[in-house]
């Protein structure tokens, strides 16, 4: 089956290549100038990292596999510092490269390691999860977490390319796959309602990599993100719409010490943002109801404990979208019509939370 190529424009343009068998393109993305490749991979994915390393070795590169912890545990300062030490030990130069293989946390880490080593070396990302393919690996945002918040330390560092090998999705645990589906659904609400129709047409199939719409859902979600980041690489305006649902989501993740699935938090955060839109008279109630229906149909949560509100409200104070003391939310003025809500009153924030509390 022919690979799908989606261009991401900007100062450093690249392609997201989607399909089965796309790993064959990895050597071409690295080029002849690169000699040594550090393959930063999820420690739990030897069956995927192994073939990547073998393909690079057969292409003539010197390859060093560098395993990192699974999930958000990879995005810690200590893990990043360990990679820097590894790069120094291996003699990684500006003409060498980093390949990130794994979920969104691994590609975030690998990208930031590449961005910060010698002020920037080439990176190619091979996301192996749905979340990584449709969100984390596309757009050039890299980062790590600190105790005070998620992704507060990072850099913009566009990769030389992103390879979405769809066959890797079949290795994912169901709950992790469904978690990634939240970002796909988000793309439907902010830009491409056809995504919502595909999910509604076959919710059970949408929740599985074997579903009949899987490839189209991935491609549509990637196109949404590619179009947005092409127009706004550094999040100066338009790109903020990709953060729909993320203000509360990041507060939930922080409160849960990053043991809560990102997509589950985003699902809850989208319903919260929808309620903010409803309470301010910007979003019809039927669109809020559609949020709950679509998310629930694939097994994603739409509420969070009522008693958690004080902790979550405090957690939202430290948010990348805030400007000074002003808290900013992405909200919808209608389906596929995102806008911004700046400086909402505390009683409004609390009322919207009460609408999702359980």
Catalytic residue selected from 41, 220, 223, 250: 250
Active-site annotation holds for 321: no
CB 218 within 8 A of CB 133: yes
Can you read off the two tokens belonging to residue 218?
């991935």
| 3-state SS class at 184 | helix
Binding positions for NAD(+) are 70-75, 104-108, 128-129, 141, 150, 168-171
How far apart, in Å, are the Cα atoms of 103 and each of 42, 138, 311? 7, 12, 28
Catalytic residue selected from 41, 64, 122, 141: 141
| CA neighbours closer than 13 Å in the CB half-sphere of residue 275 | 20
Active-site annotation holds for 151: no
Q: How far apart are CA 262 and CA 243, in angstroms?
A: 12
b/e per residue 104-119 (b: at least 16 CB within 10 A): bbbbbbbbbbbbbbee
Catalytic residue selected from 119, 259, 323, 358: 119
Catalytic residue selected from 239, 290, 291, 321: 239
Rounded to 5 degrees, φ, ψ at 214 are: -55, -50
CB 301 within 8 A of CB 266: no
Catalytic residue selected from 216, 227, 235, 256: 235
CB 315 within 8 A of CB 250: yes
| Closest residue by Cα to residue 229 from 306, 327, 136, 296 | 136
Binding positions for Zn(2+) are 183, 246, 262
- Report residue 124 CA to chain centroid gap: 16
Catalytic residue selected from 186, 225, 261, 264: 225
Binding positions are 70-75, 104-108, 128-129, 141, 150, 168-171, 183, 246, 262
Active-site annotation holds for 262: yes
The number of beta carbons lying within 10 Å of the beta carbon of residue 264 is: 23
Active-site annotation holds for 243: yes
- Report residue 270 CA to chain centroid gap: 15
Q: How far apart are CA 237 and CA 242, in angstroms?
A: 11
Catalytic residue selected from 186, 219, 243, 254: 243
User: Please, what is the angle between helix 285-297 and helix 262-279, to 10°?
Assistant: 170
For 119, residues 6+ apart whose C-beta sits below 8 A from its C-beta are: none
The number of beta carbons lying within 10 Å of the beta carbon of residue 309 is: 15
Q: How far apart are CA 270 and CA 288, in angstroms?
A: 9
Active-site annotation holds for 225: yes
Question: H or E stretch including 339?
Answer: strand 338-342
Active-site annotation holds for 246: yes
Active-site annotation holds for 122: no
Residues that are catalytic = 119, 141, 183, 225, 235, 239, 243, 246, 250, 262
């Amino acid at each position: 089956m022919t690979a799908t190529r989606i261009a991401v424009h900007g100062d450093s343009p690249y392609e997201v290549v989607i399909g089965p068998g796309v790993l064959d393109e990895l050597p071409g993305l690295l080029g002849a100038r690169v000699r040594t490749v550090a393959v930063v991979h999820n420690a739990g994915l030897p069956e995927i990292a192994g073939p990547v390393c073998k393909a690079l070795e057969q292409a003539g590169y010197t390859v060093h596999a560098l395993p990192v912890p699974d999930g958000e545990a990879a995005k810690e300062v200590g893990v990043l510092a360990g990679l820097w030490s590894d790069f120094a030990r291996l003699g990684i130069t500006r003409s060498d490269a980093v390949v990130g293989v794994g979920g969104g946390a691994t590609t975030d880490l690998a990208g930031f390691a590449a961005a910060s080593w010698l002020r920037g070396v080439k990176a190619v990302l091979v996301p192996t999860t749905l979340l990584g393919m449709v969100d984390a690996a596309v757009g050039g945002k890299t980062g790590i977490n600190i105790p005070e918040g998620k992704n507060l330390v990072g850099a913009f560092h566009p990769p030389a390319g992103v390879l979405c090998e769809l066959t890797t999705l079949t290795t994912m645990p169901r709950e992790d796959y469904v978690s990634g589906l939240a970002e796909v659904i988000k793309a439907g609400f902010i830009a491409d309602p056809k995504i919502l129709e595909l999910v509604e047409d076959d919710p059970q199939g949408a929740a599985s990599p074997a579903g009949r719409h899987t490839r189209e859902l991935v491609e549509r979600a990637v196109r949404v993100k590619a179009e947005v980041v092409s127009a706004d690489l550094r999040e100066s305006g338009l790109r903020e719409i990709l953060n729909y649902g993320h203000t509360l989501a990041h507060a939930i993740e922080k409160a849960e010490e990053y043991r809560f699935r990102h997509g589950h938090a985003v699902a809850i955060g989208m319903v919260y943002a929808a309620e903010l839109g409803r309470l301010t008279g910007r979003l019809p109630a039927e669109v809020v109801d559609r949020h709950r229906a679509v998310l629930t149909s694939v097994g994603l949560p739409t509420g969070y404990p009522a008693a958690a509100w004080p902790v979550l409200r405090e957690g939202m104070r430290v948010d990348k979208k805030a400007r000074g003391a002003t808290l900013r939310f992405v909200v919808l003025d209608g389906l596929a019509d995102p806008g911004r809500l700046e400086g909402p009153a505390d009683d409004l924030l609390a009322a919207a939370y009460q609408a999702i509390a359980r």
